[in-house]
Structure 1
Amino acid sequence: MHKKENIFMGMINKQRLLARFIELLKIKSPSRNEKEIIQYISKILKKLEIDTKIDGTGTKLGSNTGNLTCYLKGDLKNRLPIFLGAHVDTVCLEGDIIPEVKNKRIVNENKNCILGGDDKVAIAAILEALQVIKEKKIRTGDIYILFTIAEEVGVLGARHLDLKDIKAKYGFFFDGEGDVGTIFNEAPYHNNFNITITGRAAHSGIEPERGINSIKAASDAIAALNPGRVDSQTTYNIGLINGGSAVNIVPEKTNITAEARSLKLDKLDKISGYIKETFSIAAQKNGAKADIKIKREYDGFKIDDGEISMQIAKKALMNMGITPRVVSTGGGSDINIFNAKGKMAVNLSAGMENVHTNKEYVKVSQLERLATLILEICNTEV
């Protein structure tokens, strides 16, 4: 183990870190209901004399609060400013979260519910790192911290966050699954499809010949497609289908929701065109009409090895004795939005496992390691 890890790991207040993580887990914060957790974070940061600001994004999204942005003024003027971040919302949950430590893992005693470690493990680790910086008077450059709302419902908080006051170009989000040590430097472009097939209603027992069955037209299209993985960089999925109004009526309308993702924009355009053409042809063959709306959910990105954010992340991990693992991901996150706005951020694994399920857990050792990594990042220059 690198001796520098001993320094920073020794600075972490492990009991406080674990206790705070458990407190965060107990706060219910499903998307658009993040007020309590934002207030909790703000209270801690204000005690640390770190500037905080809640924006007006909540009113645009129907949330009861906005994004929280924070600023820690550093005293190393020659050090590049950086930003750190995590989202504060969780997927919808059923029942209470009752955290317990079992076999050196934090789990939910309520086995019918998520834990909520996504992304509260990052919140706890960031707060601990900032508190250590303040307590130990560790010298750093300027650090901006972004706590976003409504990430789980389409990275909506990040979309509406005004970055004009975030003077740092290089950033680090901690929203990846798996043990600390993975850097996600590439994420996909993502299109959503809303497709409406319109046929003609008719009584199915008296005059079915007059009807045009929109469900059949949609089914023909789906049968002609082969949803799933196209190649190592591209996927698409037919996610939702809803049609018809009664069992004795030939269904007039059918709605389909689909998505496509690719690390390469030209491949996304190609598969999107294929999906559109397939539904159009199937509708036409059945005498129906297809209304197809394609929306770019977010742009993809790739951060090359030479970029400063990559250099800092890799060096910080190596300082801890961890060999960095650099991979692409098929999922999107807040940094898709931030990088599209001109930032250069990477996503890092945060030690959470089986997220969005009732089998979710976080190892205590990974929580401590994540807080140590954030301290390393704040103290690494390249």
Structure 2
Amino acid sequence: MSRLKNKTLKVNDKKALQLVTDLMAIPGKSGEEGQIAAEIQRRLLAAGLPEKQIAFDKAHKKSSIGGECGNMIVKLPGTVKGPRRLLMAHMDTVPLCVGAEPVKKGKLIHSKSPLTALGADDRGGCSVILNALLTILEQDLPHPPLTFVWMVQEEIGLVGVRHLATSKLGKPAMCFNWDGKLSDMVCIGATGDSGMLIHISGVASHAGAHPELGVSAAVIAGKAIDDLASNGWHGLVVKGKDAGSSNIGVLSGGAATNVVMPELTIKAEARSHNPRFRERILNEFKKAFEKAARTVKNSAGKRGKVSFESYLKYDSFRLSQDEPAVQTASQAIQKLGGTPELTIGNGGLDANWMTAHGFPTVTLGCGQQDIHTTSETLMIDEYLKACQIGLTLATATESDA
């Protein structure tokens, strides 16, 4: 329970724990968030929130996979003066979480089946902000203007937040995202990520009768990958003071072992906190594949071709320690007896696109552990601390004496 002197701001641990247990049991991989969205909406209406204050945007209409619903947005006018605050989390889970049966064991919650993940990522975050809003509604707590957003399709590349209808947010001055492990950690920045789609066109021939007439797309790819790895452009990439990473994650092509491979498609990525260095990694990939294509030819002198496409998934960002959202989150953690730790992430967060949209956003932890694996757990103590931090921020009491 909270140590706050104001008893109205005490989180009900039992209710908060039951809430997250219930939400983690609801299936909802990316594009299939309809059921979890309906449950959140049902609980809000039962707590007395007018239905007109619940809105859905059309982010899913702009997604390549479609989807059952868009981002869910709840906007409340303030009962006390102050800048608008936004609290957010994402509803979707990775597919491995579908079928999870949350079970409490000691200070952890895990999935009953060893074949499924849990869904603490990010039903933990969903529960933190839902608990805050439900507590405000049920106890009629004073609060500044508030916006709550439950995002869709985070797990497949921050798709929901990228297409968020920002005009529906009410111009929040501070934004807080729950999606992480420790409640005292305040993530103020994250890396950027660019994707690559590389298509290699070779020349088909019978691999037994006339192998010399073929130009193997696989050989071109192999030469390019060897070039990149040998020169330090694949995996962890460090060049002087610049650092980043790259990965070739998907290769697809070929039809039979007796045909010299005529086509190969490669999907890869490049990450760096420095946009210019990320662009340099992309250029090195392009050069390596084009060079490899020039060096492979058949007996008739024919060569293969390479097409290279790169695209931004999300850009990097880093907030100043003086940013109001950073200061306010830190004050809330300190008020509750914690020590805020400012961090920078090497993975993408919904905060990347929120900040790009013009809404500086910090990300806080909510007890997630070993995410995206069958060993995933929710750390109960950290989750409950996160709930208290969320309620403190939603009621703007972090700087009270």
Using structure 1 for the length normalisation, give the TM-score.
0.95
Q: Does residue 71 of the first structure (1) align with residue 78 of the second (2)?
A: no
Is the contact between residue 192 and residue 272 of structure 2 (CA under 8 Å) also seen in structure 1?
Answer: yes
Residue in structure 2 matching 1:282, options 286, 292, 305: 292
Residue in structure 1 matching 2:352, options 324, 336, 347: 336
1:197-276 paired onto structure 2 within 5 Å: 197-226=200-229, 227-231=234-238, 233-276=243-286
For residues 9 and 238 of structure 1, the distance between their equivalents in structure 2, rounded to whole angstroms, comes to 52
Please give the per-residue CA displacement for 1:293-317, whole angstroms capped at 9, x wherever unaligned: 0011111111111110111111111
Tell me which residue corresponds to 2:11: 12
CA 1:251–1:114: 2 relative to 1, 3 Å: same
Tell me which residue corresponds to 1:111: 114
Letter in 2 for 1:338: M
CA 1:122–1:21: 2 relative to 1, 3 Å: same
Superposition CA RMSD, Å: 1.8
1:343-358 paired onto structure 2 within 5 Å: 343-358=359-374
For residues 164 and 10 of structure 1, the distance between their equivalents in structure 2, rounded to whole angstroms, comes to 31
Q: Secondary structure, in 3 states, of the residue corresponding to 2:348? A: coil
1:82-101 paired onto structure 2 within 5 Å: 82-93=85-96, 96-101=99-104
Tell me which residue corresponds to 1:48: 47
Q: Secondary structure, in 3 states, of the residue corresponding to 1:90? A: coil
Is the contact between residue 23 and residue 36 of structure 2 (CA under 8 Å) also seen in structure 1?
Answer: yes
Please give the per-residue CA displacement for 1:202-225, whole angstroms capped at 9, x wherever unaligned: 011111111101100101111111
CA 1:208–1:8: 2 relative to 1, 3 Å: farther
Please give the per-residue CA displacement for 1:13-49, whole angstroms capped at 9, x wherever unaligned: 1121111111111110011111110000111122334
For residues 153 and 346 of structure 1, the distance between their equivalents in structure 2, rounded to whole angstroms, comes to 21
Tell me which residue corresponds to 2:377: 361
Tell me which residue corresponds to 1:26: 25
Is the contact between residue 243 and residue 272 of structure 2 (CA under 8 Å) also seen in structure 1?
Answer: yes
For residues 373 and 56 of structure 1, the distance between their equivalents in structure 2, rounded to whole angstroms, comes to 30
Is the contact between residue 315 and residue 380 of structure 1 (CA under 8 Å) also seen in structure 2?
Answer: no
Letter in 1 for 2:324: I
Is the contact between residue 202 and residue 250 of structure 1 (CA under 8 Å) also seen in structure 2?
Answer: yes
Is the contact between residue 85 and residue 174 of structure 2 (CA under 8 Å) also seen in structure 1?
Answer: yes
CA 1:125–1:370: 2 relative to 1, 3 Å: same
For residues 19 and 349 of structure 1, the distance between their equivalents in structure 2, rounded to whole angstroms, comes to 19
CA 1:13–1:3: 2 relative to 1, 3 Å: closer
Shift of 1:321: 1.3
Please give the per-residue CA displacement for 1:214-262, whole angstroms capped at 9, x wherever unaligned: 1001011111112211137411111111221111010011111100011
CA 1:179–1:340: 2 relative to 1, 3 Å: same
For residues 288 and 250 of structure 2, the distance between their equivalents in structure 1, rounded to whole angstroms, comes to 17
CA 1:285–1:360: 2 relative to 1, 3 Å: same
For residues 124 and 243 of structure 2, the distance between their equivalents in structure 1, rounded to whole angstroms, comes to 29
Letter in 2 for 1:263: H
Q: Secondary structure, in 3 states, of the residue corresponding to 1:147? A: strand
CA 1:7–1:220: 2 relative to 1, 3 Å: farther
Letter in 1 for 2:59: T
For residues 83 and 337 of structure 2, the distance between their equivalents in structure 1, rounded to whole angstroms, comes to 24
Q: Secondary structure, in 3 states, of the residue corresponding to 1:241? A: strand
Q: Secondary structure, in 3 states, of the residue corresponding to 1:44? A: helix
Shift of 1:66: 1.6
For residues 319 and 47 of structure 2, the distance between their equivalents in structure 1, rounded to whole angstroms, comes to 33
For residues 220 and 106 of structure 1, the distance between their equivalents in structure 2, rounded to whole angstroms, comes to 47
Shift of 1:94: 6.7
Shift of 1:179: 1.8
Is the contact between residue 95 and residue 112 of structure 1 (CA under 8 Å) also seen in structure 2?
Answer: no
Unaligned runs of 5+ in 2: 297-302
Letter in 2 for 1:253: E
Unaligned runs of 5+ in 1: none
Letter in 2 for 1:175: D
Is the contact between residue 183 and residue 348 of structure 1 (CA under 8 Å) also seen in structure 2?
Answer: yes
